[in-house]
A and B are shown apart, each in its own frame.
Chain A
C-alpha cells in the first residue's frame, strides 16, 4: 500500500495487575478506508480502542495520529479524532443542540454554522432543540455521530456503534459511514462482534484474540472459490475427490471442495462414472463468520477479562 497511514499503532501494550491484556499490537490505518476490528468478547477490543483515544493509559508502545504521538501531544493528536465509544451517552437534561454546542466548544474552530451543517447531515433538524432524554436510541446514535463529526476529524473511531440499533438504523448508519469515508477521505476504525455487519461495512479487518492481533486482511480480496457437493455414498465421494487432488472438508451431509468453476464438469462426470448419486452441487461461499470462528478457535471466551 503506497498511501501514508493516518493512524499507526506501534507495539501497543496494556498490563493490568501483571496480566498482559493487550500484547504488542501494531496496526496501520489508511485514509478513506474502513477497518473492522473483530474479536471475541474479552479479547481486548475495547481496551485497545480506549488506549487509542486516551481513556486508558497504555503500558507500552505508542499511538501516532497524523504524525502526532498521543502521549506526547494529546491535544494535537486528539483534534483529528472523532469518537463514539459504545452507546453515545449524552447529557439527557440538555437539548441535542446544547449537547453539540458543549462538545463544539471543546474543539478549535467549530462554528455555529458547522453545527447546523452537521445537524442537517444526520437529519436531525426537526428535533435538535428537544431534550436528549426524549430521544429514541436511533436518534441518540445520530446525535452521537454528529458530535463525532463536528470538527471534521480525519480519523473516526467507533466502538460497537450499532449496538441496539434496528436493522434499518444499522443500514443507514453503514451507508453513512461509507459515504464519509469515500467523500471526505476519513479513515474509520470500527469494532464490533457482529460479523455480518463488519463484512458489509469494511474494506479491511483486523482480528484480535487474547490481546494479540492474529490477522489483518482485506475483505474484498478475491476469495478462493469453493463448491459444496452432496453425493451418496458420502464417504466414497470424499475418497474419490481426495484422490482427484481436491482438499475436502465435510459439511452437513456433503463435502466442500476448493475448485475452480472450470473443474466442476469434470468432477461431475467422474462422480457419475463411479456410480454415485449426485444430489447437489453449488458454489459455497465461506462467510466471514466461518473464517472468524476458524481463526479464533470457535469463539470460546478468552481467558482475559478486558472489559
Chain B
C-alpha cells in the first residue's frame, strides 16, 4: 500500500499543474495579507477605542437577551459574549485588533483556497486515469482495485493537509513580516468561566475545522470523478455545492430537513464565529452528519470503481 501511495504521489508531483497549484497557494495567501496591509494603511491611525465598542456590543446583546427572541445556540452565544465582554471591561483586557499579527494567526484564512485546489486534485486523480487511457495499465496489475482506490484517496487527503500546512506557514511568515503585534488577548468561555485563549492553539483549531470542509468537498469531487470519469464535471459540481450551499440552507431554513443537509454542516468554522446557519445544530451533531455523508460518498466511489467494466 505504501508503494501505491508513493506511485500516486509521484504522479501527482510529476504534473506541472500540481506545482502551479502549490505556488498559487503561496501567492494567494501573500496577496491576501498584502491587501490587508494596504487596507490597514488606508484606515489610518484612529484612536483605539475598544472599550466603547465592547460596551456597545454588550448592551446590544443584553437587550436582545431580554427581548426573549433568541433561542438555542444564538441565545447561548449571546450569553457567552456578555460574559466575555463583562470580563474585558472588568479586567481591562483588550480584544485582538482586527488587523494585527495575532489576528492573522488567530483566524488563518487558508481553508477556502486549500479547498479549491484540493478539489481539483481529487476530481482528477481517478478521472484522469480514464481520460489518459492509463487505467488499463493500472488495473491489469496484481493489485486489487480497492487498494488502488485507497492509495488515491489517501494521496488526496495528504495533498489537502500539505496545502493547509503550506498556507499556514505562509500566513505566519507574512504575519511576522508585514504586521506589528497589536496587543490584546483572545478570550473564550469554557466550563462556565472566561478563559484566555492562545492565538496559536486557536489558529490550529480553525485549520482543523476548515479541513473538515476540505475533506468533505474533496471526497465529493473524488466520487463524481470516479463515477462519471469526468474531471470537469467533478470540479464543476463540487464548486457548485461549495458556493451555493448556504443559499440552499437559507431557502430551506424553515424546514426540519435542513438539519440533515450536507450544506448546513460543511463549514465548521461557524462554531467559532457568531454566525449560525441554523440554531439547533451543535458541533458533534455536525460531525456526525458529515461522517454519514463521507461514508456514503466513499461507498459510492469504491463500489462503482471496483465493479466497473473497463471498456474505454
Contacts and interface: CB of A to CB of B under 8 A. Distances in A.
A296 interface: no
B14 A81 contact: no
Contacts of A78: 140-142
Given A88-B137, A89-B137, A92-B132, A106 B15 contact: no
Interface stretch (A47-55, A190-198, A243-251, A262-270): A47-55
Interface in A67-97: 74-79, 81, 83, 85-94
Chain B CB within 10 A, most for which of A81, A101, A102: A102
Contact of B311 (A56, A90, A91, A147): A56
Chain B CB within 10 A, most for which of A50, A83, A90, A91: A91
Nearest to A86: B136
B214 to A, nearest CB: 25
Contact of B144 (A74, A94, A107, A147): A74
Nearest to A73: B142
A3 interface: no
B207 to A, nearest CB: 31
A284 B309 CA distance: 46
A102 B7 contact: yes
B254 interface: no
Contacts of B141: 78, 103, 106-107
Interface in B1-48: 3-4, 6-7, 10-11, 14-16
Contacts of B132: 89, 91-92
Contacts of A105: 3-4, 6-7
A15 B230 CA distance: 26
B16 A147 contact: no
Nearest to B141: A106
A57 interface: yes
Given A92-B132, A93-B14, A103 B137 contact: yes
B11 A102 contact: yes
A184 B307 CA distance: 35
A108 B140 CA distance: 14
A101 B9 CA distance: 13
Contacts of B138: 106
Contacts of A107: 141-142
A133 to B, nearest CB: 11
Contact of A79 (B4, B133, B142, B311): B142
Nearest to B134: A89
A54 B139 CA distance: 8
Contact of B134 (A55, A91, A307): A91
Interface residues of A, number: 34
Given A53-B140, A106-B142, A91 B14 contact: yes
Nearest to B307: A57
A98 interface: yes
A92 B141 CA distance: 19
Interface string A264-305: 000000000000000000000000000000000000000000
A51 to B, nearest CB: 9
Nearest to A307: B311
A137 to B, nearest CB: 14
Chain A CB within 10 A, most for which of B3, B6, B16, B137: B137
Interface in B216-243: none
A74 B306 CA distance: 13
B310 A55 contact: yes
Nearest to A57: B309
A101 B7 CA distance: 9
A106 B310 contact: no
B195 interface: no
A90 B142 contact: no
B10 A102 contact: yes
Nearest to B2: A105
A98 B137 contact: no
A307 to B, nearest CB: 8
Contacts of A103: 137, 141
Nearest to A74: B144
B1 to A, nearest CB: 11
A102 B143 CA distance: 13
B3 A106 contact: yes
Chain B CB within 10 A, most for which of A75, A108, A307: A75
A98 B139 contact: no
Nearest to B8: A102
A104 to B, nearest CB: 9
A75 B310 contact: no
Contacts of A108: 142
Given A55-B309, A89-B132, A91-B14, A81 B137 contact: no
30 contacts: A50-B311, A53-B140, A54-B140, A55-B136, A56-B311, A74-B142, A74-B144, A83-B140, A85-B136, A85-B140, A87-B133, A89-B133, A89-B136, A90-B137, A91-B11, A91-B14, A91-B132, A92-B132, A98-B10, A101-B10, A102-B7, A102-B10, A102-B11, A103-B137, A105-B4, A106-B7, A106-B141, A106-B143, A107-B142, A147-B137
Interface of A: 50, 53-57, 74-79, 81, 83, 85-94, 98, 101-103, 105-108, 147, 307
10 shortest interchain CB distances as A-B pairs? A89-B133, A79-B142, A78-B142, A106-B141, A83-B140, A55-B310, A105-B3, A56-B309, A75-B142, A85-B136
